[in-house]
Structure 1
Amino acid sequence: MVPEFEREEIREMIEGSYRIIYYIKPEQIDVLAVIHGSQQITEDYRPSSE
């Protein structure tokens, strides 16, 4: 779970210096962002409510 979003279906992977933020849906996985670790996550990456 990504602490900034507090939603179980939003997760992250760390690859080197990057955070890969992804959203788990029943039939697919959407990559929301690939962010360098020194950057802050903004509301732009939050998925819309479905």
Structure 2
Amino acid sequence: MPFVIFVVERYLEWKFGVMSTFAASLLVGGLKSGSEQCATAGAVLLVVLVVGTAL
């Protein structure tokens, strides 16, 4: 499982930059800890980064 997480993290960093790894960390950390605000902030930031590159 850690290998899969490492590969996903490297792909996000390569494709969308360092901020995408920060957003993914916020999202996963918020989901694991049960913090809705943290998970929401990570999800919104990740969506903005991904959609912003498509425009």
Under a length normalisation based on structure 1, what TM-score does the superposition of the two structures give? Answer: 0.28
Larger Rg computed on CA atoms: 2
Relative contact order (alpha carbons < 8 A, sep ≥ 6): 1 or 2 greater? Answer: 2
**Which structure shows the higher strand fraction?**
1
| TM value normalised by structure 2 | 0.27
Higher fraction of helix:
2
